[in-house]
Amino acid sequence: MIGQNKNNKRILIVEDDSSLRNVLHDKFILEGFDVLDAQDGEEGLASALSFHPDLILLDIVMPKMDGMTMMKKLRGTDEWGKNVPVILLTNLSADDEKINQAIAINEPAYYLVKSDYTISYLVEKIKERLSRQG
Amino acid sequence: MGTTKNVSKILRKNKKIKKIHKTIKNRVRSVVKYQDLINNLSVGVYRNTLGPKGHFLEANPAIVSMFEADSKEEFMKHNVSDLYEDPTKRSLFVEKIKKYGFVKNEELNLVTLKGKKIIGSVTAVIKMNKDGTGYTDGVIDDITEHKKTEEALKNAYNNLENTIKKRTKNLENAKLASQNILEDLNIEKLKYESLSKDLEKFKLALDNTSEQVVITDVKGVAIYANPAVEKITGYAPAEVIGKKSGILWKKPMPEKFYQKLWDTIKKEKKVFIGEIENKRKNGEVYTAAINISPIFNKNKEIIYFVSIERDITREKEIDKAKSEFISLASHQLRTPLTTISWYTEMILKGDVGKVVPDQKKYLEEIYKGNKRMIELVNTLLSVSHFELGTFNIEPEPVHLKDIAESVLRELKPQILSQKISIEKNYDSSLPMISTDPKLVRIIFQNLLGNAVKYVEINGKIRLDISIQKSNALIKIWNNGVGIPLVAQPKIFTKLFRDDFARQKDPDGNGLGLYIVKSIVENFGGKVWFESPTETTLISKGENIGTAFYVTLPLSGVKKKESAQ
């Protein structure tokens, strides 16, 4: 269900694990956000470009197109693509080369190891990010 | 007619007288001749009587001057016995000559009229008269000088004899010594033979071991290489010997490594143990565990290096595969762990309906259990990162005390609930150190966390950060029960948990100290602990509890990119 309430901020969740995707979806709805879902990088990119969400939650390890590739492409599209806030959700540790790459080639981005943070914290982070965006 | 007869008688008497005259003349001539002869002789000639004193009946000029008399008359005034050094000896002489009728070369100690001692050699005969009286006729030779010469010769001879005796003794000693040397040599020979047999055994062992053994001189030139060298490196021993070991291996390691190697074995004269990457003859790179020992002579000078290498490429590969597997599995585990975590969280928050208190309790247990699993996964990943070298070190200037304080704040809930008192001593002169704060944080989290965990209620903890030589020294002490002796050797090993630890914190995973050790050693520091037994004390006089020490070089650490 894609709500088009202009007062709500829209979040795009790009995550291949359905359990996680669903709980995130439910939580964000409860918090009053509009929520879009995608299950791989390909879908995610298409969704992002079509619906211009206010923020993208991006998993890294996904089939078809992984998160890094999607972000690279996204940043290379247009002005909007360059600047949309992205929060990377991943299982990979902070030291992993992939993450470093991501942080290097992509500002602004946050990076969170899923298992280390509560879903409440995630919501806080998103709200914080969105308020900064103004 | 009477006159002619008388004249003939007279003429015949004249002839007789002339004949007698002639005879007398001849006799006198003869006597004079003999007298001359005797007077000219240089040997003394004499005649004397046989009494115990005796007196001279005749004496020739030679005997007179021999006895330093001014004249023959003066000489003949003296008794024969006067001329003896020991006058009593005269009777012995008379006895002897009476017995044998003669003496020959009889040596007598005599003395001249002027008191000079001389030695005379006397040859005399005895002439006895019918009436019992008699005299001796003899010759006497002054053999004083001759005697002196004889004496000197005797002495010389004696000296010579002594010298010969000495020399002979020396020779004998030398002979004994060389016999001893020969014996010693024999013993040495036996020793060497037995040593050589042992060496044979060693050589056999070296020839057959799969570990590479290379012996080099003090400059690093190989003088021996065992057959395993060929199996491992592809170079035959003959190719290795005579070359500087290291040139062959093409030195794929960074220069600093070889520098440290030489410093350890040559300057510090210690054994070098490490891992080295070498190139085989066919260009293949392999990893070896290497052990190089300097060998010393009696004067503590290095005469050889013995290097033993074991090809551990396969072990390394297995290790790497294992770490990669752990890494992969751990990453995969995070997804279901996150799922449980977030769903439980939402239920507990009441986001999907009301939760009865008992349900809440159970859900909280599920949440806690899940959290432990997440922590374990994180730890496993840290460990595998270290083992694979896939971690980064990103240094920045930090104050160690800032990180310590931050960790203490994290631990505040436990500190307060346990009523633990914390004493802190920070050396204000400790500068900032260029190091990776997140890794330093792990060190403090583990050590301070352990200190808090393993102390009783009202326990004490002390944290000291100071400078020691070129390092920062961190000391964390608590007054808990300490670490039992039997557990001490295993403290830093993976997955080791001693019984007390298990009791105090059943959730611990036994990896914390292993990680601390890995980080600290990677930074070039040391970590150790003191936990007193009956016989030791912690430095500074505490006799209970445990103190952990960490040194970190003030020079900091270098940036490290992940090895992948």
Percent of chain B with pLDDT over 70: 93
Residue of B nearest to A16 (CA): B335
- Cross-chain Cβ contact A93/B338 below 8 Å: no
Minimum mean pLDDT among A80-84, B21-25, B380-384: which range?
B380-384
Same-domain check for residues B196 and B340: no
Residue B372 near chain A (CB below 8 Å): no
According to the per-residue pLDDT averaged within each range, which of A36-40, A58-62, B259-263, B293-297 is highest? A36-40
pLDDT at A101 (0 to 100):
64
Average pLDDT on B32-57 reads: 90
Q: Smallest Cα–Cα separation from B511: which of B383, B370, B319?
A: B383
Which DSSP state fits B322? H
pLDDT value of residue B241: 86
Residue of chain B whose Cα is closest to the Cα of A113: B334
The answer to whether residues B420 and B446 belong to one domain is yes
For residues B444-456, give the mean pLDDT: 89
Number of H helices, E strands in chain A: 6, 5
Minimum-distance CB partner of A23 among B336, B346, B381? B346
Q: What is the pLDDT of residue B337?
A: 95
Question: B385 and A93: CB-CB below 8 Å?
Answer: yes
Residue numbers in B near A32 (CB within 8 A): none
**Exposed/middle/buried for residue A33 (C-beta within 10 Å: 0-12, 13-18, 19+):** buried
pLDDT at B14: 80
* Residue range B46-53: mean pLDDT, rounded: 90
B338 touches chain A (CB under 8 A): yes
Which of B122, B142, B162 is where one domain is finished? B142
Q: Are residues B431 and B538 in the same domain?
A: yes
- Residues 6+ away with beta carbon under 8 Å from B208: B227
Q: Do B406 and B383 share a structural domain?
A: no
Q: Are residues B249 and B356 in the same domain?
A: no
Q: Using a CB–CB cutoff of 8 Å, tell me whether B352 touches chain A.
A: yes
Most B-contacting residue of A115, A117, A118, A120 (CB-CB within 10 A), to test interface: A115
Is B381 near chain A, with CB under 8 Å? yes
Domain residues for the domain of B377 are: 317-388
C-alpha–C-alpha distance, residues B390 and A98, integer Å: 12
User: CB of A26 within 8 Å of any CB in chain B?
Assistant: yes
Our count of domains for chain B comes to 6
pLDDT at B455 over 90: no
Spatial CA neighbour of B538 closest among B482, B489, B463: B482
Cα–Cα distance for residue pair B3/B270, rounded to 1 Å: 156
Write the pLDDT tens digit of every residue in B221-231.
Answer: 888 888 998 88
Tell me, yes or no, whether B415 and B547 share the same domain: yes
- CB contact under 8 Å between B377 and A115, yes or no, is yes
Do B111 and B173 fall within a single domain? no
The whole-angstrom separation of Cα A63 and Cα B340 is 23
Place of tokens 């001692």: B117
Given this model, what pLDDT does residue B283 score? 83
Last residue of a domain, one of B155, B175, B208: B208
Q: In what order do the strands lie in the sheet containing B102-111?
A: B56-59, B44-49, B134-142, B117-128, B102-111
Structure tokens at B356: 């009865």
**Is the backbone peptide bond immediately before A108 cis, with ω within 30 degrees of 0?**
yes
Report the pLDDT value the prediction gives residue A14, as an integer from 0 to 100: 96
- Span B326-350, average pLDDT: 91
Query: Would you kindly state where each structural domain of chain A is located, as residue ranges?
Result: 10-129
What whole-number distance in Å separates Cα of residue B506 and Cα of residue B491? Answer: 16
Torsion of CA B167, B171, B174, B175, to 10 degrees: -170
A92 chain-B contacts, CB cut-off 8 A: 331
* Cβ separation B335–A17 shorter than 8 A: yes
B370 with B279, same domain: the answer is no
Cα(B162)–Cα(B168) distance, rounded to whole angstroms?
9
pLDDT(B472) > 50: yes
Inside any domain, residue B338: yes
Confidence tier at B478 by pLDDT (50, 70, 90): confident
Is A27 near chain B, with CB under 8 Å?
Answer: yes
- A55 pLDDT more than 60: yes
Q: What is the pLDDT of residue B71?
A: 93
Does residue B562 form part of some domain? no
Tell me, what's the pLDDT at A97?
Answer: 59
pLDDT at B564 over 50: no
> Is A115–B378 a contact, with Cβ atoms under 8 angstroms apart?
yes
> Chain A to chain B, count of Cβ pairs less than 8 Å apart?
64
pLDDT in tens, B517-558: 888 988 889 999 988 744 455 555 555 788 899 999 988 887
- With DSSP H G I counted as helix, E B as strand and the rest as coil, what are the percentages for chain B, rounded to 5? 50, 25, 25
B126 touches chain A (CB under 8 A): no
B292 neighbors B238 (Cβ within 8 angstroms):
no
Beta bridge partners of B397: B434
pLDDT band at residue A46 using 50, 70 and 90 as cut-offs: very high
**Inter-chain CB proximity A118 and B338 less than 8 Å:** no
Measure in Å the smallest separation between the Cα of B311 and chain A Cα atoms: 30
Q: Residues B169, B216: one domain? A: no
- A-chain CB neighbours of B346 within 8 Å are 23, 26-27, 119
Portion 213-272 of B in contact with A at CB < 8 A: none
Put simply, the answer to whether B562 touches A97 (Cβ < 8 Å) is yes
pLDDT of B248 over the 90 cut: no
Q: Choose one of B208, B226, B246: the last residue of a domain.
A: B208
* CA dist., res. A49 & res. A41, Å (int): 12
- Domain A10-129, what fold? Rossmann fold (3.40.50)
| pLDDT at residue B121, rounded to an integer | 94
Share of chain B above pLDDT 90, in %: 33
Chain-chain contact of B342 with A27 (C-beta, under 8 angstroms): yes
Both B359 and B403 in one domain: the answer is no
Q: How far A29 CA sits from the closest chain B CA (Å)? A: 11
C-beta of residue A58 within 8 angstroms of C-beta of residue A44? yes
Contacts 24+ apart (CB under 8 A), B290-293: B292/B261, B292/B265, B293/B265
Per-chain mean pLDDT for chain B: 86
Lowest mean pLDDT among A94-103, B68-77, B303-312, B328-337: A94-103
Neighboring chain A residues of B390 at a CB cutoff of 8 Å: 95-97
| Closest C-alpha among B529, B491, B530 to residue B508 | B491
Q: Do B335 and A30 touch (CB under 8 A)?
A: no
- For B:384-443, CB contacts with A below 8 A are 385, 390-392
Q: CB-based contact (8 Å) between B559 and chain A? A: no
Domain CATH code at residue B526: 3.30.565.10
- Helix orientation angle between B313-349 and B357-388, rounded to the nearest 10 degrees: 160
Q: Is B137 exposed, middle or buried (0-12, 13-18, 19+ CB in 10 A)?
A: middle
Q: What is the mean pLDDT of residues B227-243?
A: 87
Across B278-296, average pLDDT: 87
Q: Residue by residue, what is the 3-state secondary structure of B19-45?
A: HHHHHHHHHHHHHHHHHHHHHHCCCEE
Cα(first)–Cα(last) distance of chain B, in Å?
189
The residue type of B69 is: A
Contact with chain A for residue B332, Cβ under 8 A:
yes
Q: How many residues does chain A have?
A: 134
Q: What is the pLDDT of residue B52?
A: 87
Q: In this structure, is residue B259 part of a structural domain?
A: yes
Together in a domain, B422 and B549: yes
Q: How confident is the model at residue A25 (pLDDT cuts 50, 70, 90)?
A: very high
Cβ distance of A115 and B334 shorter than 8 Å:
yes
CATH for B269: 3.30.450.20
pLDDT band for position B562 (cuts 50, 70, 90): low
| E strands present in B393-495 | 396-398, 421-426, 433-435, 460-468, 471-478
Nearest to A70 by CA among A32, A18, A109: A109
Decide if B341 touches A, using CB distance below 8 A.
Answer: yes
**Sign, CA torsion B490/B493/B494/B500:** positive
Q: Say which DSSP state B555 is in.
A: T
Distance between CA B265 and CA B208 in Å, rounded?
A: 27
* A interface test, pick of B332, B338, B377, B378 with most A CB neighbours within 10 Å: B338
| ipTM attached to this prediction | 0.89
Chain A 31-60, CB below 8 Å of chain B: which residues?
Answer: none
Closest Cα of chain A to B345: distance in Å? 7
Q: Min CA distance, A89 vs chain B (Å)?
A: 11
**pTM for the structure as a whole:** 0.53
* B561, part of any domain: no
pLDDT at B559: 74
pLDDT tens digits for A77-124?
A: 888 988 899 998 888 876 665 666 666 655 556 788 888 889 999 999
Mean pLDDT of B123-148: 90
Question: Looking at residue B113, what is its pLDDT?
Answer: 93
Residue B559 lies in a domain: no
